[in-house]
Structure 1
Amino acid sequence: MATAQYGTRTRTVEETVVVLTLTEDEADALEALVLGESGAVMERIYRALRQTEPPAPAADTFEYDGVTYELGATYRDRVGDKFTFEAGTAGPDRTPRGRFWDSDQGKFGDLTWTLREVVSSWAPLTKVTP
């Protein structure tokens, strides 16, 4: 059974996107319709229908206090200390636990704080990009 999901993504401009979930038979029927048409839009739809590789999985994220954090990524706090928060490591406050970067050892150590503890004491956190 075909379903459609409408959503809004914010880019430079706002646009509405439609996500279709189709069975293989429904995708084949849509492909037949698209093949009968021409133009850049129809070409993009055709390529999407023939996509053979599944899209990359979305990163694990956790939203806290209106901010979404990528689990497994490294974040720097307001004083320059680094933390990495991991999925499946929730503390008593139900936020993920973060390991503190031990600069003396040059690696993330055993000391952990929950995301709530780090945000409440050392926010803002900035994602470190390679």
Structure 2
Amino acid sequence: MAHAQYETRTRTVEETVVVLELTEDEADELRDVLGESDGTPTRVRILAALQKPEPSKAEEPASTFEYGGVVYDLTATYRDDEGDAWRFTGETHSDGSPKLHCAGSYRTEIGDVLAAFGPLTKVPAP
């Protein structure tokens, strides 16, 4: 008889990254140098990063999140179909979706909350 046992394992990977801070003039010069390159995959990725810089992580977090066609106010409290109150934690899942907590103890991502306890109804501000 076949037998299977499922386990969850956590793996930690350490990697070194380099953060390069450039003035706009320096970035223009680097773009010129990379644009003349032979187009190796690494150089193409660097050039792409210089073309479309990502917003700084220090920026204000979004105050809304759209899920399933519904826009949620991340600063509001919501009630589920059982009447329990949920608030966004400020944390996000690895896919970027926000996490919520109920009564300060149960924390999970928005999709799980909606699947188990949805729909969520926004509680009017006092």
Name the TM-score class by shorter chain. Answer: 0.3 to 0.5
TM-score, scaled relative to structure 2: 0.47
TM-score, scaled relative to structure 1: 0.45
